[in-house]
């Protein structure tokens, strides 16, 4: 099973700052990686798919990079509504998928 490791576990930043979240895969997942945002009491929301493609309606401040085993989600300038938990997910053997353990982005 491919394991995804997200870092840091918690990231404390202020609005307007740049956020950089990491996701590392235990094996090569090519570009088969997605990112989700989850706010309390809500279902996850798709942000990025195929490592770097923004989902419909996602603001341009969200961007994804990487391939193989190392991936990054960047939020260029944090808005108050961006503070949430972020998960990465791989699908190298679709439809079978695994998720990372999440990064909590909190207000400093």
Partner 1 sequence: QLQLQESGPGLVKPLETLSLTCTVSGGSISSSTYYWAWIRQPPGKGLEWIGSIYYSGDTDYNPSLKSRVTISVDTSKNQFSLKLTSVTAADTAMYYCARSQGTRHDYWGQGTLVTVSS
Contacting residues toward partner 1, per CB under 8 A: 1, 31-34, 36, 42-46, 49-50, 55, 87, 89, 91, 94-102
Residue whose CB is less far from partner 1, 61 or 91: 91
Name the token pair of 58: 């996602």
Residue whose CB is less far from partner 1, 16 or 40: 40
Least distance (Å) between residue 28 CB and partner 1: 15
Name the token pair of 92: 């190298």
CA distance 10 to 32: 24
Name the token pair of 96: 């079978």
CA distance 89 to 81: 22
Least distance (Å) between residue 44 CB and partner 1: 6
């Amino acid at each position: 099973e491919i394991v995804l490791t997200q870092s840091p576990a918690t990231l404390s930043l202020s609005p307007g700052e740049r956020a950089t979240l990491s996701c590392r895969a235990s094996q090569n997942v090519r570009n088969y990686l997605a990112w989700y945002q989850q706010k309390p009491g809500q279902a996850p929301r798709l942000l990025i798919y195929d490592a770097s493609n923004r989902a419909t309606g996602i603001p341009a401040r969200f961007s994804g990079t990487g391939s193989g085993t190392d991936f990054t989600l960047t939020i260029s300038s944090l808005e108050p509504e961006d503070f949430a938990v972020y998960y990465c997910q791989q699908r190298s053997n679709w439809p079978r998928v695994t998720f990372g353990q999440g990064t909590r982005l909190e207000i400093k």
